[in-house]
Structure 1
C-alpha cells in the first residue's frame, strides 16, 4: 500500500509539473509514465547485470548496449541539468520510442507520435530527483504508485468514461479467476487497469506458467488485448502493461463500436467498464451490432459487442449503469432477453452509487455471463453490495465496512456448489441449499422463470425482500394517559414559574 509519505512525494512531483508549465492532468500522467518507464528499464538492466555477475556469464538480452550506458537512469541523473535535458530529450526518449525495433509492434505504433514535453532542464532535473526518492522496488508499490497517479486524472468522466477504482477491478478479476490459457480482452481499456490486474492475478495464482515456454510466450504476446481510440491512453496502457512485465501486449487503436465488430469469436474472457456516454449516431455504429440490438445507446451496444467478441464458452464481467438492468425500451428488453434466454446469465452484483465518486454518483451493477448461443440460464445470483471499504462521498476515505471479501467468497462458494446453479432441484425459495440465505440477505438466487415473469428486470430491488423489524407499541389508552400526565406536570410548572415572577415583582 502506498504510504502517506509516498503520496506526498507524488503530490510534490505533480506540483512540480504544474508550476513548470504542464497543467493538463493527462499530459502530466503521460510525461511521468515516460520517466517511470525509463527508470524501470534501468532497474531491469541492473537486475540482469547482477544475475550475470553471480553466474559469471554475459548479460542475457541486455536492454542497453555497451555504448548506451549514459542512457540509463542511474547515470544521467548525475548529470548537470543542461546535459541531462539534452541526453534525455535527444537520446533517451528516441531510444524508448524505438525500444522494440519492430515498427509493427503495438508499442512502436503507439509511441510513434509520442512527444517529450518537459520544457526546461530545471523541471526535468527536479522531477528526476523526486522520482528517484520514491521507492519502487516491488511490483505492488509500482502498481499503487501508478494507481495514485491515475486517481488524479481530472479528465475522468469525459465522454462517459470513469476511472474504475482499483479495488473494484481486483474484485472482478478474482470473481472471474483468469487462467493461463485465456485470451483476455477489454474493448474500452483506457489505461489497461483490468489487463494489469488480470496479469497480477496470474502471477500470484499461476506463477508456474513462466516455466512453460509456450504459456510464457502466450502471456507476453496474446493473452492481453485492449482497444481504445485515445492515442495518449494507448501509450499509457502499453507502458503500464510493460511496467508490469508484459513484453508485447496487444493494445490496439480501435473505436470499438464502429471497427471492432469485424472481430468475432476471438476471446475467452472479457473484463470491462465501457463508457456510458448516451447516444451515438447510427451511421457510426457497426451494422452487425445493430442487428443484435437496435439502439444508439453505448451501454447496450457494448454488451452486444462483447457477445460478438467472445468465443462460445467465453466469460464476461462488465460494469453497467442501472438503466441497463431495468430500462423499459424495446432495446433494453431485447438485450436482457438475449442475455437470459440466448446465453447464460449467471450473476448481477449491485454496487453502491458512491463507487465512482468524486467523478459521478451513477448507480451501477456488474453483470457476469457466459456466451453459449444456446441459453442455459437456470438461476441468477444477485448480491446487494452496500459497502466497498471506502466512504461513499467525494472524499472516499477508507472505512471498516466492506462487502467485497464476502462478494468474492460467496461467489466462489456458489461456483463450487453442485452443478453451479444448474441443479434446479436444489433450489428452493430463491436459495441454494447450504450455500446462500433467503431474499432478505445480501445475496440470493432468482429463477429464470421469475425473471421472465418480471419482463427480464434485473434490478435487485425487484427481487429482494425488505425485512421490517416488528415494533411493539403500548395500547392507545396508556399513551394518552401518559400525555395527559405530562401536560398536567407542564401546566403545574408554568403556574409555579408565574407565581415566582409575580412575587419577584412585588
Structure 2
C-alpha cells in the first residue's frame, strides 16, 4: 500500500494567515484528489479535522482526570481514535500501510464511518457521542480518489492539531470553515448565505453580556459563531471568580441552543462548538421558519423561551406559504419573520442582539414590516441601534447595509439610543476591528450624546405623529359620514318601482358616493402614512453637517453665465482648428 512520509514534527500555526495557508494546502490536495469544489471539500475537511482535534482534546481530558484521580470515559475507543488509525505513528495506520492497496479505504469506509454514525444508537450513549454521530451523519465514504492523496491529507491535518495552534491568534475552526464557505459562496453566487464578521460577533456578545445560568439561542446559527463567542465570554467571566464544577457542567451542557437548516453547515456548527469546549450543543437541524425538522434529537430538551438571543438571520431571502402562515404578520421577507420569531422565543426580560438590513429598519410601505416594528416597540425596549458601515459584510460576499439592534423584552420602548459607525471606511483589506468600536463602548453605559450618537424620544415622536394625523382622520370620518348618507339615498332611489326611478338622481348619488369614498380612503392613507413614519427606525444622524448650498440665485446665475462664456470660447477655438484643417486638406 503506498505510504507517505512520516512527518510528525510539531509546527506552531501563528495567526489567521498561517492557519489559512495550512488549510489551503490541504484543499489543494483534495482538489488533486477529485474533490474539486468547496461544496465537496468542506464536508470532507470538517469530519477529518474534527476527529483530529477531538483526539487532542480527549488526551487533554484524560491527563486532567489522571492528575485529579478521577475516572474519564472517552467518547471513542481503539481502533477508532485518530491516534490509532490516522496519526503517522499510529499502530493501526502502520498495520494498514503494510497491507495491500485499498486497506485504508476499507477500514475507514466499512469500519470507522459506520462505527461513528452508530454511536448515538448505543445504549447509554453520551451527549458527546450523539453529537459525533450527527457530525458524521452525511458522510457515506471517503470522497478523495486515491489512498495516497487521502494519506497526504491525514498527514497535513495531523500537523493542524489543537496543540499546534497559537491560542492568542487563532479564533478557532469557525474561522477556517467560514473562509472556505465564503469562497464557495462567491463562486456559486450564493447571496443568501452570509456569515457574520468575527469582530461584529465579539462586539454584540460584549454588549449583551450573557452570564452563567442563562440560556443562549441563535435561530440561524450558521457555523455557530455567536454561540462559540458567548461560551468564551462566559468562561472567561467565571474563571475570573473561580467557577464551580456545577457551573462548568451548566456551561458545557445546558446553555447553548440553535437552529440550522443547511445540511452542509449543520455538522460544521456542531464540530465547531464541540471543539470550543461545548460538550452538548443543542442544535436543531431544520427550517426555523417553517418548523420543518430534519433532525431534532439534540434539541429535544430545549426550553420554549430563552434568556438571550444573538443572531444574524438571513436577509434578502423569500419565504413561502409554509413559513408565512406560522406568523401573525405575514410576509415573504425572511428577516421580518425572523424578528417575529426572536420576539416569540425570548423570555420576559430576555435580551437580544440581532443584525438586520437597512430595509427592515426604513420600510413602512408593507403592513408586515410596520406591524412587526410596532410590536417590537410595544413589547420590547429597543434601547440601542448601531448603524454599521457599508462593506462590513464584503468579505462574506454581501454589500448590503446593516445595523445592530439591541432590545429587552417586557417593556415598551420610550427612547432609542443610536450610534453611527457608517462613516468608517471598511474594505476587504481594511476590515472592521473591535478597536473601531472603542468610542461606542465608552458612550454606551450612559447613552452619551456625541457627534456619532444621539437619542430619539419615541413617546414624543408617536405623539407628534398622532397630532399630525388627527386632522386627516377627522376629514376621513367626515367624508365617510357623507358617503354613508349618499349610500342610503342611493339605496332608496334604487328601491323605487321602475316607473318612479329617477336615472339622473341615481347617477348623481352613485357619483357622489364614489367620490366621497375615494376621498375618505385618501385621507386615511395620508394619516396612516404619517403614523407609519414613526416606524422608520433607520439611523439618521442629526449631528452630520449636510452639504447645503448657501449661494443666492443671483450668484448661481452669474456662475452659469461665466461657465457659459468659457464653453463658447472653447467651441470657437475648436471650430477655428477644424476650419483650418479642412483648408489645409
Give TM-score scaled by structure 1 length: 0.78
Report the equivalent of 1:37.
Answer: 50
The 3-state SS of whatever aligns with 2:15 is coil
Where do 5+ consecutive residues of structure 1 fail to align? 418-431, 488-506
Please tell me whether residue 269 in structure 1 is matched to residue 308 in structure 2.
Answer: yes
Report the equivalent of 1:365.
Answer: 403
The 3-state SS of whatever aligns with 2:416 is strand
Distance of 1:320 and 1:411 partners within structure 2? 20
CA contact (8 A) 1:188 1:272 kept: yes
Distance of 2:65 and 2:249 partners within structure 1? 23
Report the equivalent of 1:216.
Answer: 248
Distance of 2:175 and 2:543 partners within structure 1? 38
The 3-state SS of whatever aligns with 2:171 is helix
Which segment drifts farther, 446-455 or 342-351? 446-455
Alpha-carbon RMSD: 3.8
CA contact (8 A) 1:192 1:237 kept: yes
Please tell me whether residue 155 in structure 1 is matched to residue 181 in structure 2.
Answer: no
For 1:394-473, list aligned pairs within 5 A.
396-398=428-430, 404-405=434-435, 407=437, 410-411=440-441, 413-415=443-445, 417=446, 435-437=448-450, 441-449=451-459, 451-452=461-462, 453=465, 454-461=533-540, 463-467=541-545
Please tell me whether residue 279 in structure 1 is matched to residue 311 in structure 2.
Answer: no
CA contact (8 A) 1:265 1:312 kept: no
Residue of structure 2 aligned with 1:342, choices 379, 399, 404? 379
For 1:89-488, list aligned pairs within 5 A.
89-99=109-119, 101=122, 107=131, 108-109=133-134, 111-119=136-144, 120-134=146-160, 136-137=162-163, 138=165, 139=167, 143-153=171-181, 154-155=184-185, 158=190, 160-207=192-239, 211-259=243-291, 266-287=305-326, 289=327, 291=328, 293-328=329-364, 329-358=366-395, 359-372=397-410, 375-386=411-422, 390-391=426-427, 396-398=428-430, 404-405=434-435, 407=437, 410-411=440-441, 413-415=443-445, 417=446, 435-437=448-450, 441-449=451-459, 451-452=461-462, 453=465, 454-461=533-540, 463-467=541-545
1:279-299 C-alpha deviation (Å, 9 max, x unpaired)? 322244353x2x2x2322111
- The offset of 1:51, in angstroms, is 4.2
Distance of 1:449 and 1:56 partners within structure 2? 59
- The offset of 1:211, in angstroms, is 3.6
1:355-409 C-alpha deviation (Å, 9 max, x unpaired)? 121512111111111111xx33222111111377852xxxx1136xx57435365
CA contact (8 A) 2:220 2:312 kept: yes
Distance of 2:196 and 2:350 partners within structure 1? 23
Aligned length: 454
Distance of 2:75 and 2:291 partners within structure 1? 36
CA contact (8 A) 1:181 1:218 kept: yes
Distance of 1:352 and 1:56 partners within structure 2? 50
- The offset of 1:121, in angstroms, is 0.8
Report the equivalent of 1:14.
Answer: 27
CA contact (8 A) 1:209 1:215 kept: no
Where do 5+ consecutive residues of structure 2 fail to align? 1-13, 294-299, 466-532, 567-585
Tell me which structure has the larger Cα radius of gyration. Answer: 2
- The offset of 1:225, in angstroms, is 0.5
Report the equivalent of 1:491.
Answer: none
